[in-house]
Amino acid sequence: MSLKNCPVGALIAVADLNRARHFYEDQLGLVPGEVDAESVRYFCAQGTNLFVYLQPANAGMSAATIAGWTVANLDETMDELAARGTRFERYDQPGLTTDERGILDAGDFRAAWIKDPDGNTMALTQYTG
């Protein structure tokens, strides 16, 4: 079977699973699915999932965006997350400049970024075109 026909999910290493669970559940509003002593799997739309696992040596090691959600309304999603204490990243670098709220407007899409307690970066994207 070709990989293009297989489900895919994001895997995120964290240093402290309890601290991570607070962020993913209380701030982002995800609901834990499969849970064990060293990991939690959060099921999202259309069979996708986010697997958060305890791996202190690798937590937050990527400087790149490691996961992302496509949202219907970026402003509403950001308002909801901000009300739960989620902060949005701001960027001012070549090819990536966000406004004061943390939104990149690229014409056919708008995006914002968040970081978990370990510094893992995730994106929220609304396609507009």
Name all domains of the chain by residue range, CATH numbers in brackets.
3-127 (3.10.180.10)
Read off the pTM. 0.93
d(C-alpha 4, C-alpha 112), whole Å: 27
pLDDT attached to residue 1? 66
35-66 confidence digits (pLDDT tens): 999 999 999 999 999 999 999 999 999 999 99
Residue 124: the pLDDT is 97
Which tokens in the block code for residue 32? Answer: 């834990």
Secondary structure class of 85 (helix, strand, coil): coil
Average per-residue pLDDT in the chain? 96
